[in-house]
Amino acid sequence: MKKLLIVESPAKIKTIRKFLGKDFTIMSTMGHIVDLPQKKMGVEVSDKGKIDIDYVAIPGKEKTIADLCKASRNADVILLAPDPDREGEIIAWHVAQEINKLTKKEKNIQRITFNEITKPAILKAIENPRKIHINRVNAQQARRVLDRWVGYEVSPILWRKIASGLSAGRVQSVALRLIVEREQEIRDFKPEEYWSFDGLFAKDSKTELPTELSKIGTKKIEIKNEKDAKKLVTAVKKESYIIDSITDKKRKKNPVAPFMTSTLQQAAYNKLGFSVKKTMQVAQKLYEGMPLQDKSTPVALITYMRTDSARLSDTAITAVRSFIKEQFDAKYLPKTANVYGKKSKTKTQDAHEAIRAIDVTLTPEKVKPFIPADAYKLYTLIWKRFVACQMKAAEYAQRQVLVKGGKFTFSVTGSTLTFDGFLKVYKVDDDKDDKKVTIPASIKEKDPVDLKKLDPKQHFTQPPPRFTEASLVKTLEKEGIGRPSTYVSILNTIRARSYTTLDERKRFVPTDLGSTVVEMLVKNLPKIMDPKFTANMEDDLDKIEQGDIKRDKLLYDFHQTFQKDLKVFAEKDGKGRATKPTGVKCPTCKKDELLIRFGKAGEFVGCAGYPDCDFTSNFTRNEDGSLTLVETKPPELLDELCPKCNSQMRNLMGKYGEFTACSGYPKCKYIKQNKSGYDCPSCKKGELIERVWRGGKFWGCSDYPKCKFNVFDQIKKTPCKKCDYPFTVEKIKKDGSTVSCANKDCTDFVKFVPKKRTKK
């Protein structure tokens, strides 16, 4: 019997092929094969509430569809095995639709899923096929249609009212709103003064006890100015003090749950410095399989990486508990397995397991010699979290000492780790118990002590921090906005549209363009910009998958309200494109205010009195929200001649910085490119040239977009000593720089160059 197995990613084929016999042909869809058309809406709504969706082949996928259909004609059984999520389900449904279109007789088409690419999992899936989950397909279609409506109908209004090339998104715009509102909180924040008082007490010359003033009478300390602080210092020094109480407690810190998608993204960002996109790309490779000792045989290392569940299978729990018992001491293994439930609001993804190592005995050190450095780092993180989640809690001995004198109470709490438990394997970032406080063992209750030193300290309250990728993902998850599988595209779109920039600590800062877009959308389309509405819509999509809500009813109800709001928004009177007042007087006419305007080259300020006053300028935003005008550098003619038309070359300032181009523009459009001197190592046809984008400079193939090879670090003209790659790359860090091979498959050549420190 001939069987055709169709997966989503071609990278899986080699891993799966080693488990199956010659009866199986394995092919890949290489992602989605059809989608809504690019140049029209592709969705029709009837008066009776029926929704019709028009799918077309994705450009470039016609051959893939033809090959799949051709192979299906000779197959007795067709097994559809795209990923086990909504996107995978609809890919399977689309493949089935295409096959049925071109096949005269009905084919035996079955759906199979697996959370890990191992022989037992693959064989079990094949033995237990099912029908395509049509409710899951409906849920994906509903999400796609909602996103299409918002994107295709709101974006053109933004083009007309603000600037061309903008986009709106059902989820991305709400995420952007969170960033904009956080920035406004920071700018509106008024620091408040407060004081703390550290007291150093001594029983004798050898016994000192560091403390902090915690109460005055029965109330917590609240000193908000220097005058009151000085009065308090005088009063405190007049009193005599004794050890009022010593309280000993035992406390436990429970192990953390195994990773699901969102927690992996956050941990990889905080611990490894990986972007959300990079985390998912590396995790995908670990899931699909990487060659270890045998380079011809990939080995899958982790379970499916898109999951909202922290649940572990019984098989996984048994394996990891056995590993802990053998590799550690029996004292680290709890009597019964630790059980973790889902933390997210969705109920539809719990069929998946948490993200874990497939084979716990395949330790990070065993795979390190065979996989790229980034894959090793992420695998180590996942492996450690998986093992640690089934270990015992860490235990602390905690001692609190209260020192009293008159109405003043000083306190100190010290914790000592008495049993490391799961911390032996996995260190948590938020461990606040590592305070280095030493409490003398010789002190006893009612011992008199002397106040040797009182140190008043002035503080100011701090504004909320800007969002990083990790903290934004955490907030999106907490609020129920989007799903883990959508976070990468949300973050990418926010950055690609110039709605945000990153500060020196890689935190999101909204641009004036981003703030203007949010302000306009919140004012005119408050419903789709409401985080609660967006979260409720996610719940409704889950209910479609569960069969509790009909797809067409949800879409029709949304469409009716959305069209009414959209019509009002589109027809609202507006003279010209949106501008943003600055409160700054024009330096030329001294009369009118400068307005922020949005053009093709980005944001700039211009006089409100235009055309009577034509002053314009670039600007930068300061931390407090104020503006600093930036003088525009005029074009500078060079002695160098254009190689195409022989006109003079000139230096210009563009959207992404300074560049050199022909002065004969627009007749001659030659732009000088900085060349690396190396041929593209990927396509072997182009050469590596310097390119610029709003995030900085990088090296890319001159044959783009046919070849998308790129290097974002500095190229060093030193070949790799291990694999003979023609050049290495240097990544600049705070404490120095790392020089490594530019070949991503080579992990052996890595050199750290510490930063030279100048003597003061």
In this structure, what DSSP letter does residue 760 have? -
Let me know if 304 is a catalytic residue: yes
CA angle in degrees (0–180, nearest 5) for 601-604-605: 155
Percent of the chain with pLDDT over 90: 64
For residues 243-268, give the mean pLDDT: 94
| CATH number of the structural domain spanning residue 516 | 1.10.460.10
pLDDT at 165: 82
User: Cα–Cα distances in Å, from 669 out to 87, 140, 664?
Assistant: 43, 45, 8
**How would residue 343 be classed by pLDDT, with cut points 50, 70 and 90?**
very low
pLDDT at 741: 81
Residue-range definition of the domain harbouring residue 318: 261-388
Q: Of the residues 357, 388, 419, which one is the last residue of a structural domain?
A: 388
Token readout for 678 is: 């190396």
Residues 312-342: tens digit of each pLDDT: 999 999 999 999 999 998 899 999 999 987 4
In the chain, the amino acid numbered 270 is N
Whether omega before 705 lies within 30 degrees of 0, making that bond cis, reads: yes
Reply yes or no on whether the pLDDT at 745 is more than 80. Answer: no
Q: Which residues contact 146 (CB under 8 A, 6 or more apart)?
A: 170, 537, 555, 558
Name the β-bridge partners of 34.
Answer: 57
Q: Pairing between strand 636-641 and 648-654?
A: antiparallel
pLDDT at 759: 47
Residues 161-184: tens digit of each pLDDT: 988 888 898 999 999 999 999 999
**How would residue 156 be classed by pLDDT, with cut points 50, 70 and 90?**
very high
Q: N- to C-terminal Cα distance for the chain? A: 79
Name the β-bridge partners of 649.
Answer: 662
Reply yes or no on whether the pLDDT at 150 is more than 80. Answer: yes
Q: How far apart are CA 501 and CA 495, in angstroms?
A: 7
> Are 108 and 73 part of one and the same domain?
yes
For residues 210-232, give the mean pLDDT: 95
For residues 227-233, give the mean pLDDT: 96
Reply yes or no on whether the pLDDT at 346 is more than 50. Answer: no
For residues 388-405, give the mean pLDDT: 95
In this structure, what DSSP letter does residue 682 have? T
| CATH number of the structural domain spanning residue 307 | 1.10.290.10
Exactly one of 304, 379, 426, 487 is catalytic; which is it? 304
Across 383-475, the runs of DSSP E, i.e. the strands, are 394-405, 408-419, 448-460
Strand (E) or helix (H) holding 377: helix 373-388
Q: Of the residues 358, 388, 418, which one is the last residue of a structural domain?
A: 388
Higher pLDDT, 544 or 689: 544
* Chain mean pLDDT for the chain: 89
Burial 400-416 (b: 16+ CB within 10 A, else e): ebbbbbeebbbbbbbbe
Q: How far apart are CA 207 and CA 346, in angstroms?
A: 56
pLDDT at 33: 95
pLDDT at 144: 95
3-class DSSP state for residue 91?
A: helix
Q: How far apart are CA 4 and CA 74, in angstroms?
A: 9
Q: Which residues contact 166 (CB under 8 A, 6 or more apart)?
A: 155, 158, 159, 497, 513, 517
**How would residue 719 be classed by pLDDT, with cut points 50, 70 and 90?**
confident
3-class DSSP state for residue 407?
A: coil
Reply yes or no on whether the pLDDT at 704 is more than 50. Answer: yes
Q: How many domains does the chain have?
A: 5
Percent of the chain with pLDDT over 70: 93
For residues 196-209, give the mean pLDDT: 92
For residues 258-278, give the mean pLDDT: 93
Residues 125-149: tens digit of each pLDDT: 999 999 999 999 999 999 999 999 9
Per the domain annotation, does 240 fall within a domain? yes
pLDDT at 205: 82
Measured from the Cβ of residue 385, the count of other Cβ atoms closer than 10 Å reads 24
> Are 319 and 279 part of one and the same domain?
yes
Residues 457-507: tens digit of each pLDDT: 999 999 999 999 999 999 999 999 988 878 888 888 887 778 998 888 889
In this structure, what DSSP letter does residue 558 have? H
For residues 43-47, give the mean pLDDT: 92
Reply yes or no on whether the pLDDT at 452 is more than 70. Answer: yes
Q: Of the residues 460, 479, 494, which one is the last residue of a structural domain?
A: 460
> Are 168 and 199 part of one and the same domain?
no
> Are 99 and 166 part of one and the same domain?
no
Measured from the Cβ of residue 399, the count of other Cβ atoms closer than 10 Å reads 16
> Are 494 and 408 part of one and the same domain?
no
> Are 431 and 482 part of one and the same domain?
no
Per the domain annotation, does 737 fall within a domain? no
pLDDT at 672: 87
> Are 7 and 128 part of one and the same domain?
yes
| DSSP letters spanning 266-287 | HHIIIII---HHHHHHHHHHHH
Residues 602-632: tens digit of each pLDDT: 788 999 998 899 898 888 888 778 888 887 6
> Are 480 and 559 part of one and the same domain?
yes
Per the domain annotation, does 653 fall within a domain? no
> Are 37 and 124 part of one and the same domain?
yes
**How would residue 433 be classed by pLDDT, with cut points 50, 70 and 90?**
very low
The region of weakest confidence among 53-67, 523-537, 723-737 is: 723-737
Per the domain annotation, does 106 fall within a domain? yes
pLDDT at 384: 97
Per the domain annotation, does 185 fall within a domain? yes
Per the domain annotation, does 635 fall within a domain? no
Token readout for 16 is: 């799966």
> Are 65 and 101 part of one and the same domain?
yes
Per the domain annotation, does 637 fall within a domain? no
| CATH number of the structural domain spanning residue 239 | 2.70.20.10
> Are 202 and 276 part of one and the same domain?
no
Measured from the Cβ of residue 691, the count of other Cβ atoms closer than 10 Å reads 16
| CATH number of the structural domain spanning residue 120 | 3.40.50.140
Reply yes or no on whether the pLDDT at 703 is more than 60. Answer: yes
For residues 697-704, give the mean pLDDT: 85
Strand (E) or helix (H) holding 214: strand 207-216
Per the domain annotation, does 541 fall within a domain? yes
Residues 649-673: tens digit of each pLDDT: 998 877 666 789 999 988 998 988 8
**How would residue 413 be classed by pLDDT, with cut points 50, 70 and 90?**
very high
Reply yes or no on whether the pLDDT at 760 is more than 60. Answer: no
> Are 121 and 204 part of one and the same domain?
no
For residues 288-306, give the mean pLDDT: 90
